[in-house]
A = this chain, B = another copy of it.
Amino acid sequence: MKFLKIPSATITRLSLYSRALEELVQEQVPVVSSKRLAELCGVNPAQIRKDLAYFGQFGVRGVGYYVKELLFDIKKILGLNKEWNLAIVGMGNLGCALVAHENFPKQGYKFVCAFDNDPMKIGHRLATGLEIHPVDRLEEVCRQTGAEIGVICTPADAAQEVANRMLAVPLKGILNFAPVQLQCPEGVGCKVENVDFTVKLDNLAYHLTAG
C-alpha cells in the first residue's frame, strides 16, 4: 500500500467519506449503501467504489458498507487512528480561531504548542491553556512537545522563515494559511498544504454565473 501512487483527490474524498460516516455513526445507522453514502458526499457511487478499491475490498454486495467498520478502515488508511500533534505560529485572529475550533480535536488534531513574535502575546496563555512562545524557540519547543505538523497563520512576509524553522525541527507536514507559496528544498520530504478560502468562493461564483 505504501508504494502505490494514490491520487490526492482520492485522499481528499476519503476524508469526506469519513465525515459522512461519522454522522451516520452518531445517527446509529449500522449499514449504508454506496448510493446513499454517495448522496451524502455529493459524488457518484462508482467514485466511492473506485476510491476504496485502491486500498482493498470493502463492503458486501447487496448489503452495502458496515458504517463503523468502514469508518475505522478509512481512518486507518488516512493515518487517523492516532492523534496528531500540531504546532501553530501566528496567534492573530486566525490563529486564535483555529486553536479554539472544535473540528480539530474532533478529528484527532491537537495543538501542542503556539508561537508568536509579538512581545505583548509571548508568555500569555490561551483559553485552552497553551502558552504562547517566541518564534525563536520553535525548534526547541516543538521537539519538547512532540509536534508533528506545523500550522502557519502569520502574515505573508513572515511565512517562509517560519516554514524554514519548521523544516529544521524537522516537521514533516505544514498547513499554510498565509497567502504565499512556500518553497521547500527538493528532497526534504516535507509536504505543504495551502489553505485558500477563496477557492471555495470561486466554486460558488461559477455556480451563480453558470446556474
Measuring CB to CB, which residues of chain A are less than 8 angstroms from any residue of chain B?
1-2, 6, 8-9, 11-12, 14-16, 18-19, 23, 42, 77-80, 84, 86, 92-94, 96-98, 100-104, 106-107, 109, 148-149, 156, 172-175, 179, 181, 189, 191, 193, 195-211
Looking at the assembled complex, report how far the CB atom of A198 sits from the nearest CB atom of chain B, in whole angstroms: 4
Q: Is the CB of B197 within 8 A of A195?
A: yes
Looking at the assembled complex, report how far the CB atom of A80 sits from the nearest CB atom of chain B, in whole angstroms: 6
Partner of A12, one of B101, B203, B207, B208: B203
Partner of A175, one of B79, B189, B200: B200
Would you call the interface of chain A mostly helix, strand, loop, or mixed? helix
User: What separation, in Å, do the CA atoms of A210 and B54 have in the docked complex?
Assistant: 13
User: What separation, in Å, do the CA atoms of A12 and B202 have in the docked complex?
Assistant: 8
Looking at the assembled complex, report how far the CB atom of A27 sits from the nearest CB atom of chain B, in whole angstroms: 12
What residue in chain B is nearest A40 (Cβ atoms)? Answer: B181
Q: Which residues of B have CB within 8 Å of A84?
A: 201, 205, 208
User: What separation, in Å, do the CA atoms of A60 and B200 have in the docked complex?
Assistant: 30
Knowing A11-B202, A97-B94 are in contact, say whether A79-B209 is a contact too (CB < 8 A): yes
Knowing A77-B206, A78-B206 are in contact, say whether A198-B93 is a contact too (CB < 8 A): no
Q: Which residues of B have CB within 8 Å of A98?
A: 197
Q: Is the CB of A211 within 8 A of B197?
A: no
17 contacts between A and B (CB under 8 A): A11-B203, A15-B199, A23-B181, A78-B209, A93-B96, A94-B97, A101-B197, A103-B197, A106-B179, A109-B198, A148-B208, A174-B204, A175-B197, A175-B200, A175-B204, A191-B204, A195-B200
Q: Which residues of B have CB within 8 Å of A174?
A: 204
What residue in chain B is nearest A19 (Cβ atoms)? Answer: B196
Partner of A11, one of B1, B78, B206: B206
Q: Is the CB of B191 within 8 A of A109?
A: no
Q: Is the CB of B16 within 8 A of A205?
A: no
Q: Is the CB of B172 within 8 A of A208?
A: yes
Knowing A1-B210, A97-B97, A211-B191 are in contact, say whether A203-B8 is a contact too (CB < 8 A): yes
